[in-house]
Chain A
Amino acid sequence: KMAAAAAGSLRRAGWRLWRGRAGVRCQLSPPQRPLQASAVLRRVSDEQKKEPLASSSQQQFDSHPTDHQPEQEPQGPRPSYTGQGGQESEDYESEEQLQHRILTAALEFVPEHGWTAEAIAEGAKTLGLSVAAAGMFHSDGSELILHFVSQCNTKLSELLEQEQKLVQLGEAEKKPTDQFLRDAVEARLRMLIPYIEKWPQALSILLLPHNIPSSLNLLTSMIDDIWHYAGDQSTDFNWYTRRAVLTGIYNTTELVMMQDSSPDFEETWRFLENRVADAMNIGNTANQVQSTGEAVVQGLMGAAVTVSSAETSRAVR
């Protein structure tokens, strides 16, 4: 964090020298971003606070800038700016963390504006940033959707972890696999309910070529998480089969949910139950097929041995 702060302050000092005036705080944009300034504009009063500090470009901000407001006494070794509702200044936060904060704030506005730059702009406003902060992101809302999916996955993992702890402590019963899978998928899909109107739009954006690696990655790690907590310990090809099957169940249930208008999505959960039951049956059927196959092979081997020993005894005679 110190290194980030130092880098940040040096960067700002550099930008300041380069741009010649203290109007705009620019962040270094990663190469794949479009040719935007990627400026995070703060309110003018903030700028005035930042200026004297950045020009000193010290790692430890021990000197008090002259126009510091009274409530900003340093706490501990570093001064903390309490200008915006008690939030720590951006000096001590990386760009990525800021982006996460903006996207999280933007989620509130998705039901109204969809997965768009408008929602991000509104989110940025609630954090006290300029609406131009939305310029940090792609215009199609990809990052917002991926951020949301990632957040949901994290919540699901935490939920499953907690459940597992309860089982380990003996405070809860261990669920049978089919029920565990049903509950996990239902819990995860329920997180979509507040955004369900705009979710079809999100799904189509997630399928765009430039998003596929990320969305696929998020999907596979979520499915892997669910199987892990379900107690899957397979180390053979079953590892793949199980995950493929569950991915299919999850995706189809998600699509059914988009079309479902029943109260509290009962139709969806019933669909889910049936799909999981089917999957369990496939497992059983596969085993049955295998044992039948083995029995057939043994029968043939037995027949072969009988025939060959009959031949041998006939040849001997």
Chain B
Amino acid sequence: AFAGEVSLRLCSTRVALEGINKPVIDRIIRVDHAGEYGANRIYAGQMAVLGRSSVGPIIQQMWNQEKDHLKKFNELMVAYRVRPTVLLPFWNVAGFVLGAGSALLGKKGAMACTVAVEESISDHYNSQIRTLMEEDPDKYKELLQVIKQFRDDEREHHDIGLEHDAEAAPAYSVLKTAIQLGCKAAIFLSERI
């Protein structure tokens, strides 16, 4: 009972925290922030290896978009007073290692990693959109817009990956399954911790 006594009040950054389903929004923003942070690190790892190759500019372009995504979630995190996941330092390293590791398998390996991750992320965004629509599409209009936009961006990255011969990567299906399993685990943990 006392946990509920601590009431939410209008915070300084002008988002009305009263009337929103805080636990649900908390999870959504926390995991999305972690996801964009991880994606940033993955692209950073890929650039570290393939930065000077022919796919360098494309990876850089996708990385820039992820940077924008992260910036947006940083703002949302402050506005909704959501705590970041404790695992951020871990995603920092793991993301970079995944990016660099997949890039060491070659350009197609990096693209395969991109396809796997972006597919995971867009599925995940889709289920969040469904959740928010079920809750109250009007109350969460702004958040829904952001997530829809980002989902479209991630889908675009996924398609770019496919265009650049991701499927021709060594052990593509194994790689893809392993990476997507990792993403599922990351999502599960970041929502909660």
Contact = CB atoms under 8 A, between A and B. Distances in A.
Interface residues of A, number: 24
Contacts of A221: 6
B33 to A, nearest CB: 7
A233 interface: yes
Contact of A237 (B33, B78, B89): B89
Contact of B6 (A153, A233, A240): A153
A154 interface: yes
Given A153-B6, A214-B3, A235-B77, A240 B12 contact: no
B4 to A, nearest CB: 9
A271 interface: no
Contacts of B73: 235
A317 B2 CA distance: 78
Contacts of A67: none
A218 B81 contact: no
A57 interface: no
Contacts of B161: none
A44 to B, nearest CB: 31
B52 interface: no
Contact of A217 (B6, B88, B89): B6
A241 to B, nearest CB: 11
B6 A228 contact: no
Interface string B32-43: 010000000000
B26 to A, nearest CB: 12
A237 B87 CA distance: 9
Contacts, number: 45
B138 interface: no
B142 interface: no
Given A96-B1, A164-B12, A233-B78, A239 B6 contact: no
Chain A contact residues: helix, strand, loop or mixed: helix
Interface string A120-156: 0000000000000000000000000011001001100
A218 B88 contact: no
A218 B4 CA distance: 10
Interface string B1-17: 11101110101100000
Contact of B88 (A150, A224, A237): A237
A264 interface: no
A236 B88 contact: yes
B11 A228 contact: yes
Contacts of A278: none
Contacts of B9: 157, 161
Contact of A235 (B11, B12, B78): B78
Contacts of B33: 235
A228 B11 CA distance: 8
Nearest to B29: A235
B2 A146 contact: yes
B83 A217 contact: no
A219 B6 CA distance: 11
Nearest to B86: A240
Given A96-B1, A146-B2, A235 B7 contact: no
B21 to A, nearest CB: 18
B74 interface: yes
Contacts of A15: none
B84 interface: yes
A254 B148 CA distance: 48
Interface string A217-255: 110010010001100010111011000000000000000
Given A233-B78, A237-B89, A217 B84 contact: no
Contacts of B78: 233, 235
A239 B81 CA distance: 11
A153 B3 CA distance: 12
Given A157-B9, A240-B86, A214 B2 contact: yes
A101 B6 CA distance: 17
B2 A229 contact: no
A129 B162 CA distance: 74
A150 B5 contact: yes
A186 to B, nearest CB: 21
Across the A-B interface, give the 7 residue pairs with the lowest CB-CB distance, nearest first: A214-B2, A235-B74, A150-B5, A221-B6, A233-B78, A146-B2, A235-B77
Given A217-B6, A228-B12, A239-B84, 4 more contacts: A157-B9, A213-B3, A217-B2, A233-B78
24 contacts: A96-B1, A150-B6, A154-B7, A161-B9, A164-B12, A214-B2, A217-B2, A217-B3, A217-B6, A218-B2, A218-B6, A221-B6, A224-B83, A229-B12, A233-B78, A235-B33, A235-B73, A235-B74, A235-B78, A237-B84, A237-B86, A237-B88, A237-B89, A239-B84
